[in-house]
A and B are shown apart, each in its own frame.
Chain A
Amino acid sequence: MSLDWIPYLIGAVVGVPAALILYIIGADWLIRRLPDRLQPRLRPWVWVVPALILVAALLIYPMIATAWISLLSKDGTRFVGLANFGSVLTDNSVLIAIRNNIYWLVFYTGLVLVFGLILAVLADRVPYEGPVKSLIFMPMAISFVAAGVIWRFMFSYQPPGQPQTGTLNAIWTSVFQQSPVAWLIDHRVNNFALIFAAVWVWTGFAMVITSAALKGIPPELLEAARVDGATELQVFFRVTVPLLAPTLTVIGTTLVIFALKAFDLVYVMTGGFYDTDVMARRMYGEMFNNQNFGTSAAIAMLLLLAVVPVLIFNLRRFQFQEAIR
């Protein structure tokens, strides 16, 4: 950043909030001079309009425009109908990206939920719960770019015979006596290597929420099951897990959205090469490397389509929560 940006920086940090406050105070002063009947009708709009304008201009309008662009030719001059979707869905590399997103959807979501649940339950039974939870949650603080560097380093590969500097290959070759694996290049494992890096980042998120729900379970319920002769495993699978199911579902929806939008880790760790591409990375590639806005928008539409079930689920859940408020 050069120094000429400092006035703009101050303007954004101080000027924008100050202008907003003046706007609210000024508008309210004007409204109070209107007839009593009009005041409550007008006032709410004064408060919501700045937000609504931004949301309309940068979220709603672009969504509609993207839907339109997905029906246009590469340079956006001709209407081509669903041709972009046709070419996208018959392009083998896009189909691989879709397959990879399905891997992400299943394995990333599943593993984060399972690890989060196991860690929450285990940590609940030890006196050092706090520190453990802090350490597991820590990766949530850092960027996926940093996480990508961390895991590239974990997965790094040297040819057989040379000393392995990557942690995983060092363990793999010394403890398990196997020949080293190029985790990020080998087609059999590379998608799962990327997914595991994402699992590492997000497990803390699932663990913290699961843990909070776990502590909300009345201990009498668990004791009652134990008194009736249930083993610890039975208590876990027959009592704890069913009681946690609503919480796990909510966490799951968040993870599903993330799995569909996965971008940063793939961009940093493999660049989408070696059959590890995902839809969000591909959409970016179509937009910048190929300058093909039509297919890029079509991929974005496919992403939106995939999100719709989650979106409807969220809306239903929200309406249910509002109803019981």
Chain B
Amino acid sequence: MSVAPVAAPSRAETPIVVEATKEPRRFTLGSLPLNLALILLTIIWVVPTLGLLVSSFRPGFLISRTGWWTALAPPFQFTLQNYSDVLQTNNLFTSFINSLTIAIPATVMPIAIASFAAYAFAWMRFPLRNWLFLLLVGLLAVPLQMTLIPVLSLFKSLGLSGNFFGVWIAHTAYGLPFAIYLLRNFFGALPGDLFESAQIDGAGPVTMFFRLVLPLSVPALASLAIFQFLWTWNDLLVALVYLGSAPQFAPMTVTIANLVNSLGSGYELLTAAAFISMALPLVVFLALQRYFVRGMTAGAVKG
């Protein structure tokens, strides 16, 4: 649309009379409202986060008295006090470590297990293969709520609830249908000739998996890893159910949810706490945006 006239002159044979007469009109009438609308919407989308960020650096007595936007004009009164308070007094540092402790294994284990299964689903023939895969596709839509009560009592009887084991296992199993689905589609799209020539060279399935499939699938594995990491980092429900109320294991989402209950409108601590929990996902987002968007958009169907 708006890109077309830029490209048109390079193609000498393209008659551009129609575009040339239309283009100026669209620029004068269409562009200003269009730009204003887009910028307005973008501002609406950014302001909530910006307000939180600015507030987290404001002294508590000001947060409860004046709006965050007043901080943008002199006198500038900013402080790191909220961050040091919330890290020291509210277990937030422990929770940060707990979130990492939950999210790293909960990313590595499902991807490891899923990649083996996905390879079989993509490149091996066996009875029930299509039915089993259809089952996994169906499970993508099933609400986790359907599993909570029996899994919790299973974990309780095995001593796996109230500590990290249960959360690790739960995240691993819950992550499998989507991980297998995504990897199987990616593995299956690899060119079949590669496998044939490797087979002629005498490579078995194990060699092909480690030497061919995994190296060629790094982009898919990266997208999946980022998706799964953020999914588990941001999870509240699984942690609430399987960790219970033990504060020494609580990840940041649980600790902040508890802070909201206990502090109510004690926003100076809440804003700092929320921003600490957002920092890592935002860094991942900014650094690995392409993989990130691919993983999130492919993966948000997950149950």
Could you tell me which A residues sit within 8 Å of B by CB distance?
A: 1-2, 5, 8-9, 12-13, 16-17, 20, 24-25, 28, 32, 40-41, 43-45, 47-48, 50-52, 54-55, 57-59, 61-63, 65-66, 69, 115, 118-119, 122-126, 132, 134-146, 148-154, 156, 163-167, 170, 200, 203, 205, 208-209, 219, 222-223, 226-227, 232, 253-254, 257-258, 260-261, 263-264, 267-268, 271, 280, 283-284, 287-288, 293, 296-297, 299-301, 303-304, 307, 310-311, 314-315, 318-319, 325
| Residue from A44, A115, A118, A149 in contact with B274 in the complex, judged by beta carbons closer than 8 Å | A149
Determine whether the beta carbon of A47 is less than 8 Å from that of B173: no
Residue of B nearest to A9 (CB): B101
A257–B116 CA distance with the chains assembled, in angstroms = 28
* Closest chain A CB from B165 CB (angstroms): 7
- Residues 52-78 (chain B) with a chain A CB within 8 angstroms: 52, 55, 63-69
Determine whether the beta carbon of A153 is less than 8 Å from that of B146: no
A-B pairs with beta carbons under 8 Å apart, 11 shown:
A9-B105, A17-B112, A125-B2, A149-B274, A150-B48, A153-B48, A154-B51, A280-B143, A303-B143, A311-B138, A314-B137
Chain A residues near B230 (CB-CB < 8 A): 141
Most buried by B among A61, A62, A268: A62
A314–B18 CA distance with the chains assembled, in angstroms = 43
Residue of B nearest to A45 (CB): B126
Determine whether the beta carbon of A5 is less than 8 Å from that of B164: yes
Residue of B nearest to A152 (CB): B260
Chain B residues near A200 (CB-CB < 8 A): 45, 48
Chain B residues near A44 (CB-CB < 8 A): 120, 124-126, 129
Determine whether the beta carbon of A51 is less than 8 Å from that of B180: yes
| Residue from A1, A24, A51 in contact with B248 in the complex, judged by beta carbons closer than 8 Å | A1
Determine whether the beta carbon of B234 is less than 8 Å from that of A163: no
* Closest chain A CB from B62 CB (angstroms): 9
Chain A residues near B108 (CB-CB < 8 A): 12-13, 16-17
Chain A residues near B270 (CB-CB < 8 A): 149, 152-153
A5–B87 CA distance with the chains assembled, in angstroms = 21
Answer whether A9 and B104 are a contact pair too, CB < 8 Å, given A50-B113, A58-B147: yes
Residue of B nearest to A321 (CB): B185
Total interface residues on B, CB under 8 Å, equals: 123
- Residues 129-165 (chain B) with a chain A CB within 8 angstroms: 129, 132, 134, 136-152, 154, 164-165
Determine whether the beta carbon of B285 is less than 8 Å from that of A138: yes
Whether, in the assembled complex, B267 has its beta carbon less than 8 Å from a beta carbon of chain A, the answer is yes
Determine whether the beta carbon of A156 is less than 8 Å from that of B180: no
Residue of A nearest to B237 (CB): A263
Determine whether the beta carbon of B49 is less than 8 Å from that of A260: no
Most buried by B among A13, A283, A296: A13
- 19 further interface pairs, Cβ-Cβ under 8 Å (given A43-B120, A44-B129, A303-B145): A1-B101, A9-B104, A9-B164, A12-B168, A47-B119, A48-B116, A55-B136, A63-B146, A122-B34, A122-B41, A142-B277, A143-B233, A150-B49, A165-B267, A223-B19, A257-B141, A303-B146, A314-B141, A315-B138
Determine whether the beta carbon of A267 is less than 8 Å from that of B236: yes
Determine whether the beta carbon of B173 is less than 8 Å from that of A57: yes
Chain B residues near A59 (CB-CB < 8 A): 139, 142, 147, 173-174, 177
Determine whether the beta carbon of B297 is less than 8 Å from that of A300: no
